[in-house]
Amino acid sequence: MFHIFGCPMHFGVGDKGLTYSLDYFNDYCKDLEITMLPEITMPEYNLKNLKNLNSVIATCEQIAEEGRKAIKNGEVPLFIAGDHSSVIGTISASATCYDNLGLIWIDAHPDINTDATTVTGNIHGMPVAALLGMGEKRLTQILTPDVKLRPENIVMIGLRDIDPPEATFLEKLKIRHYTYDEVLKRGLEACLNDTVSYLSHLKHVHISFDIDVMDPAFLPGVSVPVPDGFKEAEAFRIMDRLMTELPISSYDIVEYNAEQDTDDKTAAFAKKLAHFILKH
């Protein structure tokens, strides 16, 4: 049984369109019956390299508790949210419940900056780093002080916008990743074959799907669009292969922004993706 929950997190990127996007999506997909968690607003200290730090931490702690409760109840969490900083909560929950967790990060961005490397200060560009125990310590200690992920258990798919420090981290930590250009060059099936083989020894894997991995020419409803990207058929092929051939234990769908959408194209895709996960 799935436990569907969500949070309109916007603190990690500061895009106010995200504050109402989940409510809009919940109304658009009433049959999903999403358990809604509010953002938690805390006093801030205006850190340029860690914007809205206290609010992100408080909200992620709430998300993590809800995710951990679902797993302890024998449910499979499906989390739908605003910005990608929120998954510090969901993945911390999965990592706390499952030893040696794997992560498949489907995103245009690797989100592996830290407070020392970020250009924007937006924490939605830091979740993978935090889960690896890098950067601001308070972000790394959601639920427990333990490191949540091992770099050898991560695969990233669809990257198109990598900051220079992120490229250094990916190389130094030897994180398996497939840029969108590499997928085009090698072929999607070859990259998926490698991904399945690479993670097949794990017992639990979390998929975090950022909608900005998709081509914004077709799905414009995201906060940080990057040119090119996957088409719908490719996205569902990726999910079908991974869900069929790996032990997926938890899911995220993030960064849907209704304010940037056109004719509900992105909302329709997110709805279809959620139902695809639920019915698979």
**In the structure encoding, which two tokens stand for residue 279, read together?**
């019915």
CB 60 within 8 A of CB 88: yes
Task: Tell me which of 3, 10, 109, 204 is the catalytic residue.
Answer: 109
Task: Tell me which of 136, 212, 252, 261 is the catalytic residue.
Answer: 212
Task: Tell me which of 124, 177, 204, 206 is the catalytic residue.
Answer: 124
Task: Tell me which of 83, 166, 255, 261 is the catalytic residue.
Answer: 255
Decide if 111 is catalytic. yes
Task: Tell me which of 83, 111, 163, 215 is the catalytic residue.
Answer: 111
Decide if 255 is catalytic. yes
Cα distance between residue 210 and residue 112, in whole Å: 14
Decide if 124 is catalytic. yes
Query: For 98, phi and psi rounded to 5 degrees?
Result: -125, 125
Cα distance between residue 57 and residue 140, in whole Å: 10
Task: Tell me which of 3, 10, 39, 84 is the catalytic residue.
Answer: 84
Task: Tell me which of 39, 83, 107, 261 is the catalytic residue.
Answer: 107
Task: Tell me which of 136, 166, 210, 215 is the catalytic residue.
Answer: 210
Concatenated DSSP letters for 176-244? Answer: EEEEHHHHHHH-HHHHHHHHHHHHTT-S-EEEEEEGGGB-TTT---SSS--SS-B-HHHHHHHHHHHHH
- Residues catalogued as catalytic: 84, 107, 109, 111, 124, 210, 212, 255
